[in-house]
Amino acid sequence: MAALFALLAACDQPAAMNREDPGWVDRADPQHRIALVFVHGIFGSTRGTWTGENGESFFRLLKKDARLGPQVDTYAFGFSSNIMSGGSLDIREAANKLQSYLTPAGVLDYQAIVFVGHSMGGLVIMRYLANNLDKHPELAEKVPLIVLFSAPMEGAQVAQLATLVLKNPALSNMRPVDSNDMLKQLSDDWASLAVKPRVSCAYETANVSGMRIVPWGSATRVCIGRPLAIDNADHITLVKPDRPTHPAYMFLSGELIEHVLPLQLGARLELPDFQRDKNVYTFTLASPEENARLMNTGRGRMKYWIAEKSSKALLVSPGATPQQINGQSTELLTVALRVDADQTAYAFTLKSDLPSEQRVRVLVPDLRQLREGHRRNAVKVASELADYLRDAARAGELAALQNDPDRLNAQLAMVARKALGEQIKRLPSAEQWLLTADLLAAANLTRVASAALAQSAGIDAFYQPAAQELHDKLLAQGRADALLRERAEAWIEHGGAGPPQDLAGDPAQPVQARPAIPAWLDTEDYQRATRQLVQEMSAVASLRRDAASLQVATMKMPPDLATMVHKRAVLEQSVLPGDALTPKLFTPSATTGQAHPVKPGLQGLDSTSRGVEVKAREKLQKPEKFEQWEKAKRLENRDSREQ
| Each residue's pLDDT tens digit, 172-206 | 565 555 657 788 899 999 999 998 999 999 999 99
pLDDT tens digits along 308-345: 899 999 999 888 889 999 888 999 999 999 998 999 99
Give the integer Cα–Cα distance in Å for 356 and 345: 23
User: Between 226 and 516, where is the model more confident?
Assistant: 226
Is the CB of residue 76 less than 8 Å from the CB of residue 59? yes
Is the CB of residue 362 less than 8 Å from the CB of residue 374? no
Give the integer Cα–Cα distance in Å for 515 and 563: 12
Is the CB of residue 149 less than 8 Å from the CB of residue 63? no
pLDDT exceeds cutoff 60 at 434: yes
pLDDT tens digits along 572-605: 665 443 333 332 322 333 333 333 333 332 233 3
Rounded to two decimals, the pTM is: 0.62
- Residue 616: its pLDDT value, please? 41
- Residue 604: its pLDDT value, please? 31
Overall average pLDDT of the 124-136 stretch: 95
Confidence band (pLDDT; 50, 70, 90) for 212? confident
* Pairing relationship of beta strands 198-204 and 228-230 according to DSSP bridges: parallel
- Residue 598: its pLDDT value, please? 34
Q: How far from 237 is each of 51, 118, 258, 529, CA to CA, in Å?
A: 9, 11, 25, 85
pLDDT exceeds cutoff 70 at 513: no
Give the integer Cα–Cα distance in Å for 141 and 271: 21
Confidence band (pLDDT; 50, 70, 90) for 168? low
The residues, ordered by sequence, that sit 6+ positions from 166 with a Cβ below 8 Å of its Cβ are 4, 7, 83, 84
pLDDT exceeds cutoff 50 at 472: yes
DSSP state of 277: E
- Range in 195-199, 417-421, 425-429 the model is least confident about: 425-429
User: Between 32 and 6, where is the model more confident?
Assistant: 32
The residues, ordered by sequence, that sit 6+ positions from 542 with a Cβ below 8 Å of its Cβ are 402, 403, 405, 408, 580
Give the integer Cα–Cα distance in Å for 609 and 489: 12
pLDDT tens digits along 233-245: 999 999 999 999 9
